[in-house]
């Protein structure tokens, strides 16, 4: 079976993007697997440190590996926003396909140093590393607050130049006005900045915080070279609303009946995203 790098390259050449869907429950995982199978799309399954710790990294790796072989579909695992170096190394050791090191709170020098160290370990096992330059604000939830992005939060082109040269990182998460979470007012994306980053970086460019961004904006960033888009909040919102709705049925006690309905609702949302990213029929 082809690896993640193959699909990222293909997406880059053909101008579409691979979705990353985060999960922390079995019905979410099953929904992602079903959609990958049904729409013939490569999918990156994301787990944040919190999500991974909840389900258990060993369990996650086993479940994904088994599903990948059982259904013969390109499912890839990514540790999302890894900050704890022990946890990142554990993901590499257990067989995640890629790890994202979120060094946004460090100085550029420190970010480069740690990213290099992780790449050395990861590449020995053919695992990709996603670096990050700039700070992507917000949390993966629905909020009525307004989020303010400062100029220093955005990805600096000169930092990217130094970072990619010194680390040879595989993928790069950019901060171009994107935020985590769905907020009352979503900021505008800076396409000019994305173009400037693209000019000096041959890496696979990643957009975090895909939830809540208008479809036409998503299409634009793909046209400008984004090859991976992360979705989490919208899946969480559907999960919560859907679960709440079906729990109202006072006569139903079987978890697998209730959760199957939740799973179906999640699948519809995921399918929408797959068509938006045009990653269907790419196996
Ligand atoms: Zn993120």
Q: What is the mean pLDDT of residues 230-245?
A: 98
CA 82 to ligand 1 centroid distance, Å: 10
Catalytic residue ranges: 80
Neighbouring residues of the ion ligand 1, judged by CB less than 5 Å: 208
CA 81 to ligand 1 centroid distance, Å: 6
Between the CA of residue 200 and those of 8, 111, 125, 160, what are the distances in Å? Answer: 18, 19, 27, 8
Tell me how far apart the terminal alpha carbons of the chain are, to the nearest angstrom: 10
pLDDT band for position 93 (50/70/90)? very high
pTM: 0.97
User: Tens of pLDDT along 108-150?
Assistant: 999 999 999 999 999 999 999 999 999 999 999 999 888 889 9
CA 253 to ligand 1 centroid distance, Å: 36
CA 13 to ligand 1 centroid distance, Å: 24
Q: What is the mean pLDDT of residues 60-67?
A: 98
CA 213 to ligand 1 centroid distance, Å: 14
CA 140 to ligand 1 centroid distance, Å: 8
- 228 contacts 171 by C-beta, under 8 angstroms: yes
> What pLDDT does 187 receive?
83
Nearest CA among 238, 233, 234, 163 for reference residue 201: 163
User: Tens of pLDDT along 12-62?
Assistant: 999 999 999 999 999 999 999 999 999 999 999 999 999 999 999 999 999
Nearest CA among 127, 98, 112 for reference residue 164: 112
**What's the rounded Cα separation, in Å, for the pair 20 and 130?**
13
Given a cut of 90, is residue 184 above it in pLDDT?
no
Output the DSSP codes for the chain.
---HHHHHHHHHHHT--EEEEE--SHHHHHHHHHHHHHHT--EEEEEEHHHHHHH-HHHHHHHHHHHHHHHT--EEEEEEEE--HHHHHHHHHHT-SEEEE--TTS-HHHHHHHHHHHHHHHHHTT-EEEEEES---S-SSEEEEE----GGGSPPHHHHHHHHHHH--SEEEE-SS--SSEEEEPPPP-HHHHHHHHHH--SEEEE---TT--HHHHHHHHHTTEEEEEE-HHHHHHHHHHHHHHHT-TT---HHHHHHHHHHHHHHHHHHHHHHHT-TT--
Structural domains for the chain: 4-277 (3.20.20.70)
**What's the rounded Cα separation, in Å, for the pair 231 and 270?**
9
Q: What is the mean pLDDT of the chain?
A: 97
User: Tens of pLDDT along 250-259?
Assistant: 999 999 999 9
Burial of 60 (C-beta count, 10 Å sphere; 0-12/13-18/19+): buried
CA 194 to ligand 1 centroid distance, Å: 17
Alpha carbon 158 to chain centroid, angstroms: 25
């Amino acid at each position: 079976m082809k690896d993640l790098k193959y699909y990222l390259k293909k997406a880059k050449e053909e101008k579409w993007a691979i979705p990353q869907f985060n999960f922390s429950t079995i019905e979410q995982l099953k929904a992602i697997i079903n959609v990958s199978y049904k729409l013939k799309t490569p999918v990156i399954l994301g787990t944040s440190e919190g999500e991974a710790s909840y389900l258990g990294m060993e369990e996650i790796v086993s479940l994904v590996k088994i599903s990948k072989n059982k259904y013969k579909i390109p499912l890839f695992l990514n540790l999302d926003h890894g900050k704890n170096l022990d946890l990142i190394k554990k993901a590499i050791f257990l067989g995640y396909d890629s790890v994202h090191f979120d060094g946004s709170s460090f100085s550029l020098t420190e970010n480069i140093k740690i990213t290099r160290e992780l790449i050395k370990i990861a590449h020995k096992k053919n695992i990709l590393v996603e670096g990050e330059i700039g700070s992507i604000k917000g949390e993966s939830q629905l909020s009525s607050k307004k989020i303010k992005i400062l100029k220093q939060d955005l990805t600096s082109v000169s930092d990217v130049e130094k970072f990619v040269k010194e680390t040879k990182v595989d993928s790069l998460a950019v901060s171009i006005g994107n935020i985590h979470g769905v907020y009352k007012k979503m900021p505008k994306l800076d396409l000019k900045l994305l173009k400037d980053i693209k000019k000096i970086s041959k890496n696979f460019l990643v957009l975090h915080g895909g939830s809540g961004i208008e479809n036409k904006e998503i299409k634009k960033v793909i046209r400008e070279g984004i090859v991976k888009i992360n979705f989490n909040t919208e899946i969480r919102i559907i999960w919560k609303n859907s679960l709440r709705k079906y729990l109202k049925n006072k006569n139903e006690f079987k978890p697998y009946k209730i959760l199957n309905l939740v799973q179906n609702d999640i699948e519809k949302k995921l399918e929408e995203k797959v068509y938006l990213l045009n990653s269907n029929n790419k196996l």
